[in-house]
Structures are given as structure tokens and as C-alpha cells.
Chains A and B, each alone.
Chain A
Amino acid sequence: MDADVLKGGFADAPIEAAHAFRAAMTAIARPGKIETLKGAVPPAPMSVAAGTLVLTLCDPDTPVFLAGEWDCQPVRDWIAFHVGAPIVSAAEAMFAIGDWAGLAPHTQFAIGTPEYPDRSATLIVECDALKADGAVLRGPGIKDTASMGLPEVDAFQMNAMLFPLGLDFFFTSGDQVSALPRTTKVEAA
């Protein structure tokens, strides 16, 4: 084990986690809005925002799936040390982290059950950049319409049709985060 994995956690966990949660909550309550999320310094390729989300929301109770390049020893060790979350297969995961291509097929994740739609996965999608313009969003949390750049549109339209089941998405890049819950209706611009 490399000594570097011991670094990069919260310096003041209760306070930093509280600020990080407020940013994450604002993001999911207002789809398309870009928030700043920092505090964690995870090993590459994980972004600061994704690492901060992991420290804020994950613990030994939350199975995590790592996709593609994100499934590497430094990331596994960092999560094991700071969070203690079990690394599992996609179907068992409550949280999944990776880039959009690595997370495919997106039907492999838990979407909840009709009686417990909350038992569904949250995907943390790492992006090169978060763009405020792109697909048109409508739904709860949005006054009229909002817009955000998305890796594709079809997958999110399919996801919204599953409501109240479905997946919830965080998009991360650097220290920025935005979110798209299952309630948001997406249209290509």
C-alpha cells in the first residue's frame, strides 16, 4: 500500500461534509445548476468533486462500483482507507463511479422496486467539463426550463420513463458538480 492513499481526506470532516452535502443537495434539487464541491484530493483519475461526494455520502453501508479506468488500485485503496465501502459488481452497487462510456450499459444498475424506489443506484459520472448549455430540462426543481450538457439524451429519456423507479446522476468535473434526478424530462436542444 502506497502512503499516498492515506492523504486526501477531509481535514475537518463534520464541517467539510456539511458544506459538500449542501452543494450536492442543491445540485439534485435544482437539476442543471452547477455547484462547487471540494475538500477531497482523491488519486487520479477521480476528480475532486467525485472524491468529495464519495467522502460525503459513502461508508461501509454503501456498496460502490468502480467503472473502467476508475477501477484501479490507488482508487480502491483510497476508498478502502477513507470510506471503507465495499467494492462490488454493478448490479449490487448503491453508488457507481466512472466515465459515461465505462458505466455502460446503464441498465446494469439497480433501479429500485415499485415498493422501494429509493433502493436504486446513484451514478457519479466523471466528465471532461460541465457545460451549462445543451439539452433542455423540465421537471421538479426547475422553474420553467433549464439546460445542461449531457453525454447523450436517449438514456436519460428512458430513465425518466421508469419513474418512480430509475437512476439518479451526479456529473463531476474538477471541483464542479451538477445533477440529474430521475424526475427530469430531457429533450435534445
Chain B
Amino acid sequence: MSDYNFAYLDEQTKRMIRRAILKGLAIPGYQVPFASREMPMPYGWGTGGVQVSAATLTPDDTFKVIDQGADDTTNAVSIRKFFEKTAGVATTEETSAASVIQTRHRIPEDELREDQILVYQVPIPEPLRFLEPSEVETRKMHSLEEYGLMHVKLYEDIAKHGAIATSYAYPVKVEGRYVMDPSPIPKFDNPKMEMAGIQLFGAGREQRIYALPPYCQVVSLDFDDFPFEASKADHACDMCGATDSYLDEVIMDDAGNRMFVCSDTDYCASRRKAGHVGAQGTPFEEDAA
């Protein structure tokens, strides 16, 4: 065991975060202010998500961290190690084996169960912030349910581009009341937010926590004649052949060759283990990598 308090934060800080989480769950989509602490990592590296995870974890949990779907990127590896050291929790890369999943900008492809908790790292929690810079004003807009400006923004997308061009951080309305920023997940993931697990959102620099209870109504904003569409690259994964997963485009050389691969590394690896092979893939070998 390390010399840190369990899960790094002191108990009074955790109580404050826990109270914010409970109010967040009671008022889905509403951003609860909290006294965000300085963490041993820079803002933008998931300090909000880390604080929410620290307040949520118990020693019995199995913890998974993904960054843009991947378990093996710097951000994911360092946060996983942080909680291995400070909370002594078990960690995993398998979505189905995890009880708490901290994520940056993706929802895992595998459907989450009732006993799983998804913690999002959020950069800018306020969906109206780029339309209205004043916090006083946006807070008033939320209190009055004045979301016309957001529809104007989506309309301007259509006027300029012929379609709603917003492809990530696509605004949603929760339980017919609060417009919420789902964090910069691709809009492909928006429909997954009506899930069986609890979803918690932490924004460290902006000092906000918000939450979605299970089976909460989450509607992506749209128009009758321009309905919401959960889009992805029109391709199959070149490694595992999946046609239903969100894809990253990888540039292979200077000649314009490219390859599409699942952004969810665990999903791709488990499909390859099961024998699926994509157009540019090779059969899975245990000792490869």
C-alpha cells in the first residue's frame, strides 16, 4: 500500500464531490458546481474525471481507462497507473470485466451493464459556452430553458453546409429539460447514452460535475426535416472487419494510403481473437504485439 489516502483525495474533498454527484444524479443534465482540486496532472488530462473516479472507486472495483477508445495511450496508461498506486484497485483493458470505466471522448462499443459506471472527462461542460461566453448568462438561459440559440447554431450548420455539420460534442436534451454537452464524444456514440449503467461527467478546470442515471431519456437535438444521424466512416475496420464500430482513419504513407481501424481497441482485439480478420488484417496471434 502507498502512503496516500485511499484514492489520493482527502475524505472531506471526496464528501464534497460525492454530494455533487448525488445532486447531479437527482437533476440529470444540470451542471453542479464543485470545488475542483489541483491534481498531480495538468488540466486537460482528465482532472475532472480523475476526481469523480477517486470519489467513486472502492477497493473491490476493477478499473478501466480509455482515451479515444484506446487503453494503451499515454493519458489512459497514466491514469490507470495513478489509481493502481493510490487506490490499489485492480485494472483491466476488457470492457466487460470493468466495474468503473473512465473515458476520454468515447463510449465503449460493448453495451454497458447495470453494474458498470462510466466516468467521462469533460473539457468544456457548458454546451452554450461557444455561443455565449458569460457564465451569468448561460446559467440564466438554463434556468429559463432558453435554448433557441443552440437551434440557431444547428440551423446555421444546415444553411452553410447543407447538413448539421457538428460531428462531436453534439448537444443533447436530457429528460426534456436540460441541454447538455455529452463531452467531445463522436455523435456516433450519442444514442448509446440511454444505457443501463450510471454515467458521471467531471470537468476539473471548469469545476462542474453532472450525471445521467440509468435509462435516462437523452435526445440529440435536431429538426424534423434534418433528423439526427449517428454517422461514422463508411467503411469496415481493416483489422477486424467490424462494420458496426466507430473508426479511426490512419494515414499509412505519403502516397495517400490509409486504413480504417476500430477506435475501441478492446473491441477490435476481442473480435480478432474470435477469428475475425479485416481487409488489411492478419490473423490474431497470442504472442504478437
- Spell out A's residues near B (CB within 8 Å): 13-15, 17-19, 21-22, 24-26, 28-30, 56-59, 61-62, 113-118, 120, 122, 139-143, 163-164, 168, 181-183
Contact = CB atoms under 8 A, between A and B. Distances in A.
A180 to B, nearest CB: 9
A139 B20 CA distance: 20
Contacts of B201: none
A27 to B, nearest CB: 9
B27 interface: yes
Contacts of B179: none
B217 interface: yes
Contacts of B143: 113-115
Interface in B27-68: 27-28, 30, 32-33, 55-60
B52 to A, nearest CB: 11
A32 B67 CA distance: 35
- Interface of B (DSSP majority class): mixed
Shortest beta-carbon contacts, A-B, top 3? A14-B6, A141-B213, A181-B26
B19 A57 contact: yes
B153 interface: no
Given A25-B56, A25-B198, A183-B26, 19 more contacts: A14-B5, A14-B6, A14-B14, A17-B11, A30-B213, A57-B15, A57-B18, A115-B143, A117-B30, A140-B28, A140-B214, A141-B213, A141-B215, A143-B215, A163-B27, A164-B27, A168-B22, A183-B175, A183-B213
Interface string B161-180: 00000000000000101100
Contacts of B151: none
Contacts of A113: 143
A183 B258 CA distance: 48
A33 to B, nearest CB: 10
A122 B5 CA distance: 28
B79 interface: no
B112 interface: no
Contacts of A56: 15, 18
B16 interface: yes
B129 interface: no
Contacts of A120: 23
Contacts of B273: none
Contact of A25 (B12, B25, B177, B215): B25
14 contacts: A14-B5, A15-B58, A17-B14, A18-B57, A21-B55, A24-B22, A25-B22, A25-B25, A57-B15, A115-B139, A115-B142, A140-B213, A141-B214, A183-B213
Given A25-B198, A114-B143, A59 B26 contact: no
Nearest to B214: A141
A7 B217 CA distance: 45
A160 to B, nearest CB: 11
Nearest to A119: B23
A140 B175 contact: yes
B216 interface: yes
Contact of B30 (A24, A28, A118): A118
B193 interface: no
Given A141-B214, A182-B27, A19 B18 contact: no
Given A61-B16, A183-B175, A28 B58 contact: no
